Structure 1
Amino acid sequence: MTEPTPNRDKLLTPGEVGRIFRVDPKTVTRWAQQGRIGYVRTPGGHARFRQSDIDALLAEGGAS
């Protein structure tokens, strides 16, 4: 049996990322489609964003 990974990235919705950057969730989705922000797809086809990627992007000064 394997132990759960305590440092596993939290996955954020476009709405959560939008609140962090103070933009509309559709803008976050557009950034993802343009390759400006990394994302993963859920089995249901929804985009989710890794917390560590968002934190790194904030440290760099944003997605714009």
Structure 2
Amino acid sequence: MATRIPESEALLTPAEVATMFRVDPKTVTRWAKAGKLSAIRTLGGHRRYRESEVRALLAGIPHQRTGD
């Protein structure tokens, strides 16, 4: 099931998120699998993360699931 993303919503790669948190990109993938961060799949199957959600997590604001 595909999730519609507003055109203005910035998406980050696992490497970009990993740089922000100073962790390995595989850690970001594990966070997504654990539900700590929601991932969006590209048509090629790659994960992307909403910048707003990543910044909220970085600021310590709890993650709110949105009917994805």
Structure 1 length-normalised TM: 0.79
Are 2:6 and 1:11 aligned?
no
Tell me, in whole angstroms, the C-alpha distance in 2 between the residues paired with 1:17 and 1:36. 13
Structure 2 length as normaliser, TM-score?
0.75
Q: Which runs of 5+ in 1 are unaligned?
A: none
Pick the structure with greater CA Rg.
1
- Percent sequence identity over aligned pairs: 54
2:48 is paired with a residue of what secondary structure?
A: strand
- In structure 2, list runs of 5 or more residues that go unmatched: 1-5, 63-68
- Please report the RMSD computed on the Cα atoms of aligned residues, expressed in angstroms: 2.2
Return the alpha-carbon distance in structure 1 between the equivalents of residues 61 and 27 of structure 2. 17
The letter for the 1-side match of 2:38 is G
* Matched residues, number: 58
Q: Distance in 1 between matches of 2:23 and 2:49?
A: 15
**Counterpart code for 2:23:** V
Aligned to 2:59: 59
